[in-house]
Amino acid sequence: MIRVRSTMNGETKSFRGQLIVENRRRMQLIAYSPVGTTVATITADGDHVSLVDSIHGNTIEGNAQQMLAPYGFFTGGLTPAEMGMLLLGYPPRRELTYETGAAGLSRAAFGDIAVSFDPPAFPAQHAVIEHGVDRVEIDHLEIAEMR
């Protein structure tokens, strides 16, 4: 379970959700309303994303970078699943620039995107994604391994 706070274009939105990362290609993000009902489900397979809007009953599909940027989930060349891995504190690729502390990642950068972790710990507790003036904060409320 995660808490997300996204500030884009001066507007802040927040929600609780569930981030499920199966591997480097597949992930799912479920966004919940304040009363716990599903608002939206984002499913990614590689660079292909499907967004189910549970409120309006719509489903749209397309390229991850185009589909996710309006929600503050910048992929910067990573697949959404690789970004999910990074947000959990797993380095998804060698070519990213990493800074580490004794207990885990403290910062990762790729392109014009930076992800910082406070405190540097594994698994991650609090991650901040910065892309220009836009910012997404993620608090990990509960982390579980599924087999």
Which residues lie below 8 Å from residue 136, measured CB to CB, with a gap of 6+? 4, 5, 6, 7, 72, 73, 74, 128, 129
Q: Quick check: 139 pLDDT over 90?
A: yes
DSSP 86-135: HHTT----TTSEEEEETTEEEEEEETTEEEEESS--SS-SEEEEEETTEE
Which residues lie below 8 Å from residue 116, measured CB to CB, with a gap of 6+? 106, 107, 127, 128, 130
More confident residue, 73 or 58: 58
Q: What domains are there in the chain, each with its CATH number?
A: 2-140 (2.50.20.10)
Among 32-36, 72-76, 139-143, the range scoring the smallest mean pLDDT is 72-76
Contact 23, 81 (CB under 8 A): yes
User: Hunting for tokens 């990213």 — which residue is that?
Assistant: 96
Residue 108: both structure tokens together = 């990762």
Please compute the mean of the pLDDT values over residues 50-74 and round it to a whole number. Answer: 84
Q: Quick check: 77 pLDDT over 90?
A: no
- In this prediction the pTM is 0.88
Residue 141: both structure tokens together = 């409320």
User: Hunting for tokens 């609780």 — which residue is that?
Assistant: 16
- CA dist 127 and 12 (Å) reads 17
